[in-house]
Amino acid sequence: GNSVTQMEGPVTLSEEAFLTINCTYTATGYPSLFWYVQYPGEGLQLLLKATKADDKGSNKGFEATYRKETTSFHLEKGSVQVSDSAVYFCALTNRPQGGSEKLVFGKGTKLTVNP
Amino acid sequence: GAVVSQHPSRVICKSGTSVKIECRSLDFQATTMFWYRQFPKQSLMLMATSNEGSKATYEQGVEKDKFLINHASLTLSTLTVTSAHPEDSSFYICSARRVASETQYFGPGTRLLVL
C-alpha cells in the first residue's frame, strides 16, 4: 500500500539556520507528492508539490525535489525564520485507475525556530 | 484563490446532542470533499470522501450512522456528529478538490469539545 515516512520531531533551530525534513514514501506507480504546513491552531496549507520524477516544488523559500530513485521528497530551506515555526506534513496521492485519490500523510514534524 | 472555510471554528456541546459542521469552497467548485479527524500531536486520519450528489465513502472503522456527511452542492459539504460523546472530541478538518485537479485545499478546522 501507500505510505509516507517522515523524520520524527520535534526539530528546534535558531533563526537563519538550514532546515531539512526528510520524507520517504512507498507507493506503486507514479504518485504526486506534497508538503503541507499547519500553523498553531489552524488547518493545513499547501506549501508545495511535485507531480513527477525530478520535479522541484518551491514556495516561500522552501524546496523539495521528487526523487524516484530514492523514493524521497525531502523539504529544505536555506534560512529559517521564527514565522516558519509550525508542523510540516509530507503527503502523497496515488489515484487508482477509475477512483478518486486519497491523501496519505506522514505523521508530521514539528519545527520550532528560536530568535 | 482556492479558499475553503469551515463553520463553526469551535463548538462545545453536551453529550448526546448532535453537531453539524459546514465546509465551503468559497471561490471554486469542488466535486470532491474530504473529512479528516486529527488527534493531538498526530497526523490526519481520513474519515470519508464525499462526491457531490452521491453518498459518501467511509474509511474502514468510521461509523457512517454516527458521522453523517452530506455533499449537497459543488461548494458545500456538511458533517454531522450524531449523539456526540466525549470521545468524539477532536479537531475536524475538511478539504476540497477542484474539478480536474489533484490538489486538496484545506479548511481551517473545527475544534469539537463534547462535555
The tens digit of pLDDT for each residue in B36-94 reads: 998 877 788 899 999 888 889 999 999 999 999 998 889 999 999 999 999 999 999 99
d(C-alpha B109, C-alpha B37), whole Å:
9
Question: Which chain B residues are Cβ-neighbours of A36 within 8 angstroms?
Answer: 106
Q: Is the pLDDT of residue A25 over 70?
A: yes
CB-CB under 8 Å, B34 with A108: no
Q: What is the pLDDT of residue A97?
A: 47
Which of B58, B12, B65, B13 lies closest to B37, judged by CA?
B58
Distance of CA A36 to the CA centre of its chain: 6
Reported as a pLDDT band with limits 50, 70 and 90, residue B1 is: low
Residue of A nearest to B110 (CA): A43
Q: What is the pLDDT of residues A53-91, one digit of tens each?
A: 999 999 999 999 999 999 999 999 999 999 999 999 999
| Chain A: closest CA distance from residue B20 (Å) | 18
Residue of A nearest to B91 (CA): A43
Q: Is the pLDDT of residue A46 over 80?
A: yes
Q: Nearest 5°: phi and psi at B74?
A: -75, 0
Q: What is the pLDDT of residue A99?
A: 46
Contact B48, B34 (CB under 8 A): yes
d(C-alpha A31, C-alpha A36), whole Å:
16
CB-CB under 8 Å, A45 with B93: no
Residue of B nearest to A108 (CA): B43
Q: Nearest 5°: phi and psi at A35?
A: -120, 130
Grid coordinates belonging to A114:
528560536
Q: What is the mean pLDDT of residues A93-103?
A: 65
Cα–Cα distances (Å) from A59 to A9, A35, A43, A47, in that order, read 22, 10, 18, 6
Q: Is the pLDDT of residue B2 over 50?
A: yes
Q: What is the pLDDT of residue A61?
A: 97
Task: Output DSSP code: residue B80.
Answer: E
Reported as a pLDDT band with limits 50, 70 and 90, residue A96 is: low
* Cα atoms in the 13 Å half-sphere on the side-chain side of B49: 12
Reported as a pLDDT band with limits 50, 70 and 90, residue A1 is: confident
Strands (E) across chain B are located at 4-7, 10-13, 19-25, 30-38, 44-51, 57-58, 67-73, 76-81, 90-98, 104-106, 110-114
